[in-house]
Chains A and B, each alone.
Chain A
Amino acid sequence: MSLEALEDASAVRDDEGGKEPAGGEAHPGDAPAANGGAAAGGRPTEAGGAPVVAPRTVGELRNLMARASRDGRQVRFIGNATSLPPGYLDGPVDLVVSTRALDTVHAYDPADLTLTADAGVSFGQLERVTGEQGQWLPLDPPGRARRSLGGVLASGAYGPLQGKFGTPRDHVLGLTLVTGDGRVLELGGRVVKNVAGYDLVKLAVGSGGRLGIVTSATVRLHPLPVRDVTLLYQTPRLALAVVLARSLATAPVRIPALELLAGHGEEPTVAVRLLGSPEAVAESERILNGRVGREASRRLEGEASARWFAALERFEDDAAAVARVSHLPSRLGDLVEPAVECGTVAAHVSLGVLRVAVRGPGASEAAVLDALARLRDGVASAGATFRVSRANIPRWPAPEPATAPGVLALTRGIVDSFDPAGVLSRPAS
């Protein structure tokens, strides 16, 4: 790597982690980026053999990407670093760009329920800022508090609350993207409804750093709910838990979060989170209990309810590998059985997505691979799609089914137009 490109990125930091998974160093609620810029000017360090830089301005980033593109240098992006796709930093990488030094909340208009912040701002920080105004960003991806806004948007990560609030694509009004060849694109806007041109925001959200780096974003906020209640229904038999979960999913009530947990060392558990006015939450509870003909095994309210779901955000933390199975919600029963054979299961019941965590730390590489392969074969027959989203092993089973040729061709064309020199990650799908 020529240091020429680094000269522009004056905020080279010397405190980046190595290739250690972030799981170990838990800073729940902590904002690693809050002191961003303090270590500016240090020497670049190595990450998987490549120097890590943390530019402080969009201008620095633009120059850096333009040069990398011209010189054909391989660049990878990281946010606060918890959920890099498997193998993301493998192979020849010349430079790792971190958004840590982009850590400012630029505009917050509580009356408009919108906020514009840099990509490096952590969710913990956002929670504090918005909480003071009785508002929140109802997005609860795995490992939320430590993650950066840019990382979550770029990876499209979401959690149980998608049941009511949607996934990152539904929260973002606009963002700034520095493309692979150093163009600065202001996409979308700051208003809640906007159809002025093709929706490149949707393209950038979930693109995993393939098109460019997200440097800031405007998101839509919501008022904090007055009442927050979690109902936990436990049954000794998995099949019964599935019936119960499906029955709740088809109740005539919109449930903000509906999860099924199994293989987690307790009885299979169906968790329901209700948010809203005290009256509406009480009535929903009555309707749901009536529908399944029983009371919840446990009922948590307020802080306790939020804490239970915050704990679920750490579901993936100590896993040796995590696979995601996407299926028709009504097929839950066919999929959860083979999944439990392979690991701990957390299902977004209404959406039709199962997360399967293969637990370590003792799990050997062979055991992890074996569990993932069994899972893939087990779910393929039920018409589900399978993908490994995280693994501490060098090789993992390919996604199933493979990407359709037509989709692949469109994807390649789009990626080429944002990164013509091919300096960003290109997953081999």
Chain B
Amino acid sequence: MIAKPPRLSTGLADELVRIVGEDGVITDPARLMVYESDGLTAYRYPPRAVVLPRDGDETAGVVRAIAAERVPFVARGSGTGLSGGALAVDGAVVVCTARMNRILELDLHNRRARIQPGVVNAHLTAATQPHGLYYAPDPSSQSACSVGGNVAENSGGPHCLKYGVTSRYIRGLDVVLPDGSRVYLGDRGLDTGELDLAGLFVGSEGCFGIAVEIDVELLPLPQATHTLLGIFERLEDAGRAVTAIIADGLLPAALEIIDQATIRAVEESIFAAGYPTDAAAALVVEFDGIEVGLEAEAARAEAACLECGAREVRRATSADARAALWKGRKKAFGAMGRIAPDLLVQDATVPRTRLPDVLAEIAQIGRRYDLKVANVFHAGDGNLHPNILFDRRDATEMERVELASKEIMRICVDAGGTITGEHGVGLDKRDYMSLIHSDDTLWAMESVRRVFDPAGLCNPGKVLPDRIRGMDPAGAAEAGSDRARTIVPAGATA
């Protein structure tokens, strides 16, 4: 099933070595295996080669050389993506940012940093913490994922409820465009009268070029943090508690739910966190900010949990005790990986108030397809992660996983939600795009993509359905006329 990629031409191989050095080019099939897949382990696409530039100039040279031979390429950070975004479709060359991992400038006075894209998310916060600052977006994968990958996916994390997602924190991007030219996209369009091209690039999933330097904004560390853990007998009650807390006018830094299947997986693993295994759900609530106000807010949240049927609420303020309350949430993915050979991490968002019904429907779908579904998610944002546990070697189970996924997406969309809240479309969800976008909107996305990458070499096969990628502009141009607005795929005759 795994197609062998074409070989790199000797001319291109020599040119790449000249630019990045012998140790920066990988062509040995055994070593390439590492780059065949990402966090979405069900797919495998061996790349033609992997190139590891050390800075923006080298990246520009590499992209120019690759583009000159009309070879497709794809950027890769740490490969933790969960939608297959970094997969080398069409025998693409992988341009990996792992060696671009320097913090170039820390500007404490302006609370900004200029970094290379391969800097690991948690390393940025570690480097700024001694100065009383931190980088707010905190995907659960933060100890491994790169900020470049975060930019490409517009990643979120548990604390994005209060602080917002990656796009809030990107001031500017130095980008190598797919033809190898370089452009600075800056300042979120503020006070320049320009289009917000930096905002557009964030979340473009590696299809618009490669970010080679990133200007990020930092925040002052909160003075104090209070954490609560509510234990619930019913999953719906935990969902109602989330709504009650928000309705009370509180804005926690994080609101995360872990369901029974996840709790049991954690408690049966080496990560046991002391959550009761007979509980239907646990809700982590965190407040941060000025110390004196937190106690009162935590008390209100505790009351809301109890009112919604929590049988117990634990509270912690010290770093160690807080870490213990978080442990079940943080180790959830690791623990699930141990109870099933394969794990499909789903991602969708629904309006927060719809959480209880949607969770009940997801449970039903799991039962109907005889699949184990475990939920661990960013409840405050309505961002669900129904994770399906399965064994890829069982072909009929694979089929059920696919059908169940599709149904889950459908109910989330029907509830007024969307098909991905933070993991991106990548390769995995292209065919769901038509559930939420009209062909006109998809074509508008494709048109913008073509402005960045007219040759179609940059991360091919991602985000948009092939039907749209192959569309003929002449056919789409009809869209504005009064005539019937059907979009004609390239090659089709009217």
User: Is B1 an interface residue, CB under 8 A from the partner?
Assistant: no
Determine whether the beta carbon of A169 is less than 8 Å from that of B188. yes
Q: Say yes or no: is B194 at the interface (Cβ < 8 Å to chain A).
A: yes
With a cutoff of 8 Å between Cβ atoms, the chain B residues found around residue A254 in the complex are: 219-220, 289
Assembly CA distance A325 to B190 (angstroms)? 10
A residues 106-145 near B (Cβ < 8 Å) are: 109-114, 134
Considering the chains assembled together, what is the distance between the CA atoms of A111 and B244 in angstroms? 9
Q: In the complex, identify which listed stretch (B196-204, B271-279, B303-311, B389-397) lies at the interface while the others stay far away.
A: B196-204
Is B221 on the interface with A (CB-CB < 8 A)? yes
B340-356 toward A: CB 8 Å interface, digit per residue (1/0)?
Answer: 00000000011111000
Cα–Cα distance between A283 and B223 once the two chains are bound (Å) = 11
User: What 0/1 pattern do residues 424 to 455 of B give for CB contact below 8 A with A?
Assistant: 11000100010011101110110111111000
B3 interfacial by beta-carbon distance below 8 Å:
no
Inter-chain contact B202/A193, CB cutoff 8 Å: no
User: B181 at interface (Cβ–Cβ under 8 A)?
Assistant: yes
B11, CB-defined interface residue at 8 Å? no
Q: Interface code A246-257, partner B: CB below 8 Å = 1, 0 otherwise?
A: 000011111000
B479 and A199 contact, CB distance less than 8 A = no
Residues 339-378 of A, flagged 1 when their CB comes within 8 A of B and 0 if not, give: 0000000000001110000000000000000000000000
Closest to B248 in A: A223
The stretch among A96-104, A183-191, A289-297 that forms the contact with chain B is A183-191
A contact residues, total (Cβ < 8 Å): 91
Q: Are A179 and B290 in contact (CB under 8 A)?
A: no
Query: Are the C-beta atoms of A193 and B351 separated by less than 8 Å?
Result: no
CA A189 to CA B415, docked complex, whole Å: 12
- Of the stretches B27-35, B92-100, B153-161, B260-268, the one at the interface is B153-161
Chain B residues lying within 8 Å of A110, measured Cβ to Cβ, are 247
Contact across chains for B185 and A407 when beta carbons are under 8 A apart: yes
B445 with A200: CB separation less than 8 A:
yes
Q: Is the CB of B418 within 8 A of A196?
A: yes
Contact A182 B480 (CB under 8 A): yes
Minimum distance in angstroms from B54 CB to a CB of chain A: 23
B174-185 interface bits toward A, Cβ cutoff 8 Å, 1 = contact, 0 = none = 000100011111
- Assuming the contacts A113-B246, A280-B293, A429-B193, asked whether A198 and B204 have C-beta atoms less than 8 A apart, the reply is yes
The answer to whether A252 and B223 touch across the interface, beta carbons within 8 angstroms, is: yes
B208 to chain A, nearest CB (A): 8
Complex-state Cα separation, A91 to B436, whole angstroms: 40
Interface string of A281-293 (1 = CB under 8 A from B): 0111001000000
Interface segment out of the listed B72-80, B227-235, B376-384: B376-384
In-complex Cβ contact of B290 among A169, A186, A193, A283 (8 A): A283
Contact of A253 among B196, B220, B477 (CB under 8 A): B220
Residues from chain A with a CB closer than 8 A to the CB of B164 are 166, 170
Q: Decide if A418 is an interface residue (CB 8 Å cutoff).
A: yes
Neighbour of A252 across the interface among B132, B418, B452, CB < 8 A: B132
In the complex the two chains form, what is the Cα distance from A70 to B483 in whole Å? 12
CA gap between A279 and B300 in the complex, in Å: 14
**Is B130 engaged at the interface, CB distance under 8 Å to the other chain?**
no
Q: Which residue of A lies closest to B182 (CB)?
A: A406
**Which residues of A in the span 155-185 have a Cβ within 8 Å of any Cβ on B?**
156, 158, 166-167, 169-170, 179, 181-185
In the assembled complex, B315 has its CB within 8 A of some CB on chain A: no
- Cβ A191 vs Cβ B191 within 8 A: no
CA distance A283 to B167 in the complex (A): 30
Q: Are B448 and A193 closer than 8 Å at their CB atoms?
A: no
Check A3 for interface membership: any CB of B closer than 8 A: no
CB within 8 Å for A353 and B423 given contacts A203-B448, A417-B447? no
Name A215-233 residues within 8 Å CB distance of B.
222-224, 226
- Across the two chains, which residue of chain A brings its CB closest to B161? A192
Determine the distance from Cα of A254 to Cα of B163 in the docked complex, in whole angstroms. 12
* A:256-282 near B, CB below 8 Å: 276-277, 279-280, 282
The answer to the question of B405 belonging to the interface, with a C-beta cut-off of 8 Å to chain A, is: no
- CB <8 Å contact, B441 and A410: no
Q: Is A206 an interface residue (CB 8 A)?
A: yes
Count of inter-chain pairs, beta carbons less than 8 A: 264
Question: Of A46-54, A303-311, A326-334, which stretch is located at the interface?
Answer: A326-334
Contact B444 A181 (CB under 8 A): no
Give chain B residues whose Cβ lies under 8 Å from the Cβ of A208. 193
On whether the beta carbons of B203 and A411 are closer than 8 Å, the reply is no
Distance between Cα atoms of A414 and B181 in the complex (Å):
18
B491 at the interface (CB under 8 A from A): no
**Do A198 and B183 touch (CB < 8 A)?**
no
Chain A residue nearest in CB terms to B416: A190
A236 within 8 A of B: no
**Which residues from chain A contact B433 at a C-beta distance below 8 Å?**
196-197
Complex: how many Å from CA A385 to CA B190?
Answer: 11
**Which residue among B204, B290, B378, B424 has the maximum number of chain A CB atoms within 10 Å of its CB?**
B290
Min distance, Cβ A110 to any Cβ of chain B, angstroms? 8
Q: Which of B46-87 contact A (CB under 8 A)?
A: none
**CB < 8 Å neighbour of B351 from A112, A353, A418:** A112
Chain A contacts for B463, CB-based, 8 A? 197-198
For the complex, what is the distance from the CA of A404 to the CA of B309, rounded to whole Å?
A: 59
Contact between A329 and B220, CB atoms less than 8 A apart: no
A420 part of interface (Cβ distance < 8 Å): yes
Q: How far is the CA of A189 from the CA of B418 in the complex (A)?
A: 7
Q: Are B168 and A166 in contact (CB under 8 A)?
A: yes
B290 touches A279 (CB 8 A): yes
Given contacts A195-B422, A197-B464, contact A111 B243 (CB under 8 A): yes
- The smallest C-beta distance from B199 to any residue of chain A, in angstroms, reads 3
Residues in chain A near residue B195, CB distance under 8 A:
203, 206-207, 210, 411, 414-415
B480 touches A284 (CB 8 A): no
Cβ of A394 < 8 Å from any Cβ of B? no
Residue from the list B191, B197, B207, B480 in contact with A410, Cβ < 8 A: B197
In this complex, what residue of A is CB-closest to B349? A191
Chain B nearest CB, measured from A271 CB (Å): 20
* Bound Cα distance from A169 to B107, whole angstroms: 25
The answer on a CB contact under 8 Å between B351 and A411 is: no
Q: Indicate whether A13 reaches chain B with its CB closer than 8 angstroms.
A: no
Contact A134 B382 (CB under 8 A): no
Q: A191-B416, A193-B165, A410-B183 are in contact. Are A200 and B444 (CB under 8 A)?
A: yes
The chain B residue with its CB closest to the CB of A352 is B110
Q: Roughly how many angstroms separate A173 CA and B352 CA in the complex, as a whole number? A: 14
User: CA–CA, A259 to B463, complex, Å?
Assistant: 42
A418 to B479, CA, bound (A): 11
CB closest residue in chain B, given A277: B293
Task: Find B479's partner among A67, A181, A206 (CB 8 Å cutoff).
Answer: A181
Q: B297: CB under 8 A from chain A?
A: yes
Query: How far, in Å, is B382 (CB) from chain A's closest CB?
Result: 6
Within 8 A of A (CB), among B135-178: 153-154, 156, 160, 164-165, 167-168, 177
Min CB gap B369→A, angstroms: 24
A97 to B37, CA, bound (A): 51
B263 → A minimal CB distance (Å): 24
Q: Could you give 14 example pairs across A and B, Cβ below 8 Å?
A: A134-B249, A194-B349, A195-B425, A199-B202, A202-B202, A250-B111, A252-B221, A252-B223, A276-B293, A279-B296, A280-B290, A325-B191, A385-B192, A387-B193
**Interface residue ranges, A against B (CB under 8 Å):** 63, 65-67, 69-70, 85, 109-114, 134, 156, 158, 166-167, 169-170, 179, 181-187, 189-200, 202-203, 205-208, 210, 222-224, 226, 250-254, 276-277, 279-280, 282-284, 287, 324-326, 328-330, 351-353, 385, 387, 389, 399, 403-404, 406-407, 410-411, 413-415, 417-418, 420, 427, 429
Could you tell me which B residues sit within 8 Å of A by CB distance? 107, 109-111, 132, 153-154, 156, 160, 164-165, 167-168, 177, 181-185, 187-197, 199-200, 202-205, 207-208, 219-221, 223, 243, 246-247, 249-251, 289-293, 296-297, 349-353, 378, 381-383, 416-425, 429, 433, 436-438, 440-442, 444-445, 447-452, 463-464, 477, 479-482
With A179-B480, A252-B220, A282-B292 known, 5 other A-B pairs at CB within 8 A are: A191-B418, A193-B378, A223-B249, A406-B181, A417-B450
